[in-house]
Amino acid sequence: MTIKVGDRVPDGTLTEFFDTEAGGCSVGPNNFQVADLVKGKTIAVFAVPGAFTPTCSAKHLPGYVESAQALKDKGVDEIWCVAVNDAFVMGAWGREQNTAGRVRMFADGSAHWTRALGLELDLDARGMGVRSQRYSALLQDGVVKQLNIEAPGKFEVSDAATMLSQI
């Protein structure tokens, strides 16, 4: 069952790579509970099928990096990029895309949270295994207020400009 507007996001563990110690987090992968992260916050989250893939690297992530301040000006506390990749890959992609201080790069390495959302995408035939569908969502205190799920192979509704227009 796919999550929908009005639903509370399921709890789960997401992993973020830290290049330096900060806020009690050690260098390397650090695990976070979604329920703790969303508490009392407004979060713009978007998911991509894979780090370093063409549309994700050229358009999706850069759009959120460029729009980070505009989103924060509209009341967004944090912006998350989630992908079914490991934390090392997400950390490297974040460094390449200069996301520090703008977009948190979360790994859902085994797709547990993505499956709990009902937003997994089977790309096994393309040698990529289970990934996430491309989507964006606005969460307020863990409740989905906006949800934009892309049709397969499309990039039309989950971009930063659409999210900005919905806040």
Q: Is 25 among the catalytic positions?
A: no
Q: How far apart are CA 162 and CA 116, in angstroms?
A: 25
Residue 121 in tokens: 């995408």
Q: How far apart are CA 54 and CA 12, in angstroms?
A: 28
Tokens 């035939």 correspond to what residue? 125
Options 48, 56, 79, 121, the catalytic residue: 56
Active site residues: 56
